[in-house]
Amino acid sequence: MKKYQLGEFEEIVILAIAILNNEAYSVAIKDEIESRLARSVSMGALHTALNRLVDKGYLRSFAGEGTEERAGRPKRYFEITAMGKKAMIHAKETRDELWRAIPKTVWQITIAGAGQ
């Protein structure tokens, strides 16, 4: 199902938006990813991913209220569309299927090999 394929960073961005729910704007998304994954995120990379996800139909954006601290400019908020939710479910199911296919012996560590 190629139409639902997501890159790793795109998936992380959508997950952060889901966590933030109604407070998902670029700085909050960046902070959420950085705090949860201890991973640095550039605003350029984030905006590129957000725009790509909007173009794919996985997200929609809308303007919030303007604030004095932003000189009257509104924040741009993001929410996951129905197609974005389908893409995330597909990604999770695909990953779960791959994890289940790994033989259990792959993850077993023997006592002799544990110290090596």
What amino acid is encoded at 83 in this protein? M
Q: Which two tokens stand for residue 101?
A: 């296919």
- Return d(Cα 21, Cα 24) in angstroms, integer: 6
Residue 81 has phi, psi (to 5 degrees) of: -85, 175
Looking at residue 72, its pLDDT comes to: 73
pTM of the model as a whole: 0.83
- Return d(Cα 32, Cα 23) in angstroms, integer: 11
Looking at residue 4, its pLDDT comes to: 78
Q: Which two tokens stand for residue 50?
A: 């957000």
Looking at residue 69, its pLDDT comes to: 73
The dotted CATH code for 2-102 is 1.10.10.10
Looking at residue 25, its pLDDT comes to: 95
1-35 tens-digit pLDDT:
467 789 999 999 999 999 999 999 999 999 999 99
Q: Which two tokens stand for residue 33?
A: 């990813």
C-alpha 63: how far from its chain's center?
Answer: 20
For the chain, give every domain's residue range.
2-102
42-71 tens-digit pLDDT:
999 999 999 999 999 999 999 987 777 767
For residue 115, is pLDDT > 70? no
- Best CA proximity match to 26, nearest among 12, 46, 2: 46
